[in-house]
Every structure is written in C-alpha cells, then in structure tokens.
Amino acid sequence: MEKPHFYSLPKLPYGYKELAPYISEEQLQLHHEKHHQAYVTGANAVFEKLEQGRKAGSDLDMKATLKELSFHIGGHLLHSLFWANLAPAGKGGGGKPAGVLGAAIDKEFGGFERFQKEFTQAAVSAEGSGWAALTFCQLTNRPVIMQIEKHNVNVYPMFSILLVLDVWEHAYYLDYKNLRAKFVEAFWSIVSWEEANRRFAGLLKGGAK
C-alpha cells in the first residue's frame, strides 16, 4: 500500500469528553485540534519548502530548516503516541502495568511505585515545554526514563518510546493553570498500560514502530 506523502492529524481513540475530569473536553479538543494540528501543518510546510527548493535548485538555510522540521515532526509523533497511550479512567485508563512491561518495570525500578515517582519527577521538572517518556534500550534490556525538552531535545537515538506525557502548558493550563504537578497526578488515572504493553511486546518481537 502506498504511504501518504504528508502527515495528517490522527483521530483520537475516545471522545473529547471521555477523559474528564482529568482532562476537560475544552482542554482536550483545543490541544488536539489546534496544537497538534499546528505541528502537522508545520512539518508539511517544511516538506513543501524543501520540495520547492529542490525543484527551483535554490539554496535553503539547512540548519534552520532542519531544526524547524525536527521540532514539528517531534511534536506530531509525540502527540500521536500520547493520545494512544491515554484511555478513559476505569475503561482501560489507570491502574498498574501488567504483562511483560510490568515485569520489566519491577525488575529495573524495584517496583511500580518507584517508577511512578521517578517518572512523575521527570515530568514535573522538565524545563519549560517538554515531555516525560518511558523508553527501552535494546542493548541493555533496560526501560529508561527520558525527559524531552520542546519536542526534540534530549532524545536518545534508537530508544523506542513506550509511554509519553505532554507537559507543555498548552496540555493542562485550562484545567490546572500553573499547577503542572496536579496534571501529572491526574495522568496516572488515564494512562493506558495496555497500549504501553502492546508497544513493548511489539518491540520485543522486533515489530515495534
């Protein structure tokens, strides 16, 4: 099947009201339709600029162009992972990881509570706009927490992302104002461990994306 040449905004796997009260309808809709869409539009615009430059044979400022492309692609990919690793509370959201991921977290962190504490601290302390991510290193078989600034700074190359949490202000400001820690606390009620486990099992089989 031929793949699309440009990015597009993915549909959410739940309704805008379904993550409330942890994420309100207004907050979720704005975040998805406006903020995420802006990264999709931004990445596609850079690809168009590159295509036009190639056709015209004109020079582009490659450093600036690639920095902009990395920012928008990072934003698009992280948001796509984020929506998929959330689920309505009590309907797939919340609880603790089971399966292969639960076992890997227990082994590396000595238990879920310690992992939750470290991940929470990573999310709360990300400088400015950023993300907390749970990744996996296939060289050492370790789950590793990654703190991402903006959408693209501090990324460990080749570590696959199992779980992400968006801690840009636009992710929570309508619901929690400046209280990022409250939003991070709420995240644990709507996190989808099933999706994180699916990503991890796929990675262990060599088929993860």
**Cα angle: 163, vertex 131, 156; to 5 degrees:** 75
CB nearer Mn ion, residue 168 or residue 193:
168
Question: Considering the complex, what minimum distance in angstroms separates the CB of residue 40 from Mn ion?
Answer: 12
Residue with tokens 């309505």: 88
Question: Considering the complex, what minimum distance in angstroms separates the CB of residue 69 from Mn ion?
Answer: 18
CA distances from 71 to 9, 76, 165 (A): 16, 9, 17
Instruction: State how far Cα 71 lies from the chain centre.
Output: 13
CB nearer Mn ion, residue 172 or residue 200:
172
CB nearer Mn ion, residue 162 or residue 171:
171
Q: Which residues contact 68 (CB under 8 A, 6 or more apart)?
A: 42, 46
CB nearer Mn ion, residue 75 or residue 93:
75
The residue at minimum Cβ distance from Mn ion is 166
Buried b (16+ CB within 10 A) or exposed e, 83-117: bbbbbbbeebbbebbeeebbebbeebbeeeeebee
Question: Considering the complex, what minimum distance in angstroms separates the CB of residue 36 from Mn ion?
Answer: 7
Question: Considering the complex, what minimum distance in angstroms separates the CB of residue 75 from Mn ion?
Answer: 7
Structure tokens at 66: 């690639």
CB nearer Mn ion, residue 74 or residue 93:
74
Question: Considering the complex, what minimum distance in angstroms separates the CB of residue 206 from Mn ion?
Answer: 30
